[in-house]
């Protein structure tokens, strides 16, 4: 196990002073985000997974809130509990089981995170997206990132799927990035470009698949934004996001996509619209987002989400 403070659970263990910064201790030097998980530590984690599973995955899947069933359809699955993976954080959110599932889907070698890490859990962004680098060093070429999100675009209904074609990085606007700190060129360049981050070919294929599935009227192509959470948005914030061209809002994915594009992975991402974000002031309880509703909608729509992902992976396999 890595003994460095940075890799440990931020909540620490009872009596474990190493997890708490002492403001009076002038010897503590703040660690830049990019230094939290050096290349060698990521390599160790990747080796542990590849050796333990006997599989070199090509596609990495991140299951959004309530969408853990995307990993349940993986065949010949080898399951790694996050607690048992050296230097891996733990999942603390309901609907995020905290397991890595490695196996095959539609003939492709895949690895899926049944549980992701969020900024609001107390993890720095580089820690939230560290598993994407692990995927890269395991051999992953394609990242499939999924999330539950609130629909801001008035045309979106609960249960619709928004294929992400762009994002607005609100945490980035505020000066926070998983790439902040010295750059390790073994992962990627100092200044990665993010135009065309969301693979157009995969978006087009997903649209074609939605027609075959008969769900094309529930599919949109739009812009996602990640806020820090854990609060859901105020009406004024939702109005501001809408003015900025945001169609769906959540608390994840963007830093994962940044990390994936930095190391040149192809990205496909979608949001399941689990609640409508009303931008009108009202006293209606129905207008308040809540995590139980998010999970219930995700459970209802998991079949369609699984089919979309499976069929898209089958398309990738056909082309390889
Ligand atoms: O983005 P995922 O992990 O799907 O979850 C979304 O749903 C939770 C809030 O209900 C937040 O964690 C938000 O980010
Ligand atoms: N920030 C945010 N995250 C969500 N996740 C699911 N729904 C929502 C929402 O309305 N807002």
Helix (H) or strand (E) holding 224: strand 219-226
- Annotated domain spans of the chain: 32-318
Q: Which residue in this structure is represented by tokens 């910064």?
A: 21
- Answer yes or no: is 96 a known binding residue: yes
- Per this entry, what is the length of the chain? 320
- Answer yes or no: is 83 a known binding residue: no
Q: For residue 66, is it left (φ>0), alpha (ψ between -120 and 50) or beta?
A: left
Helix ranges (DSSP H) in 73-160:
125-128, 130-138
Express each pLDDT in 84-96 by its tens digit. 999 999 989 888 8
CATH superfamily to which 32-318 belongs: Nucleoside phosphorylase domain (3.40.50.1580)
Q: What pLDDT, on a 0 to 100 scale, did the predictor assign at position 17?
A: 40
Strand, coil or helix: what is 79? strand
Which ligand has the nearest atom to the CA of 229? 2
Task: Choose among 154, 144, 156: nearest CA to 108.
Answer: 144
CA–CA separation, 313 and 320 (whole Å): 11
- Answer yes or no: is 91 a known binding residue: no
Atom of ligand 1 at shortest range from CA of 289: 10
Q: What pLDDT, on a 0 to 100 scale, did the predictor assign at position 245?
A: 98
CB under 6 Å to ligand 1: residues?
64-65, 93, 116, 118, 147-148, 229, 250-252, 291, 294
The residues of the chain scoring below 50 in pLDDT are 1-19
Burial class (CB in 10 A: 0-12, 13-18, 19+), 215: middle
Q: What pLDDT, on a 0 to 100 scale, did the predictor assign at position 9?
A: 43
How far away, in angstroms, is 66 Cα from ligand 2 center? 13
DSSP 138: H
Residues 65 and 92: beta-carbon distance below 8 Å? no
Q: Which residue in this structure is represented by tokens 């263990």?
A: 13
User: Is 0.90 topped by the overall pTM?
Assistant: yes
């Amino acid at each position: 196990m890595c003994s460095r403070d940075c890799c440990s659970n931020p909540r620490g263990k009872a009596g474990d002073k190493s997890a708490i910064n002492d403001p009076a201790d002038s010897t503590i030097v703040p660690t830049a985000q990019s230094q939290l998980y050096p290349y060698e530590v990521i390599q160790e984690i990747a080796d542990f997974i590849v050796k333990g599973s006997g599989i070199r995955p090509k596609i990495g899947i991140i299951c959004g809130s309530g969408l853990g069933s995307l990993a349940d359809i993986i065949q010949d699955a080898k399951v790694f509990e996050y607690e048992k993976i050296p230097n891996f954080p733990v999942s603390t959110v309901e609907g995020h089981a905290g397991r890595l599932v490695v196996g095959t889907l539609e003939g492709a070698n895949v690895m899926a995170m049944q549980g992701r890490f969020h900024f609001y859990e107390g993890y720095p962004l580089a820690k939230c997206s560290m598993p994407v680098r692990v995927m890269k060093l395991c051999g992953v070429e394609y990242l499939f990132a999924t999330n539950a999100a609130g629909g801001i675009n008035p045309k979106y209904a609960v249960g619709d799927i928004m294929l992400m074609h762009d994002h607005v990085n609100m945490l980035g606007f505020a000066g926070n990035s998983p790439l902040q700190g010295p750059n390790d060129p073994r992962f990627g360049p100092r200044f990665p470009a993010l135009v065309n981050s969301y693979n157009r070919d995969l978006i087009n294929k997903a649209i074609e698949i939605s027609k075959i599935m008969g769900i094309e009227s529930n599919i949109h192509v739009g812009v996602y934004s990640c806020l820090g959470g854990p609060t859901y948005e105020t009406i004024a914030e939702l109005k501001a996001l809408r003015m900025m061209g945001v169609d769906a809002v959540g608390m994840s994915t963007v830093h994962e996509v940044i990390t994936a594009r930095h190391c040149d992975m192809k990205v496909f991402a979608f949001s399941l619209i689990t609640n409508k974000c009303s931008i009108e002031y009202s006293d209606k309880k129905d207008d308040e987002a809540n995590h139980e509703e998010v999970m219930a909608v995700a459970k209802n729509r998991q079949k369609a989400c699984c089919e979309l992902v499976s069929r898209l992976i089958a398309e990738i396999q056909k082309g390889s």
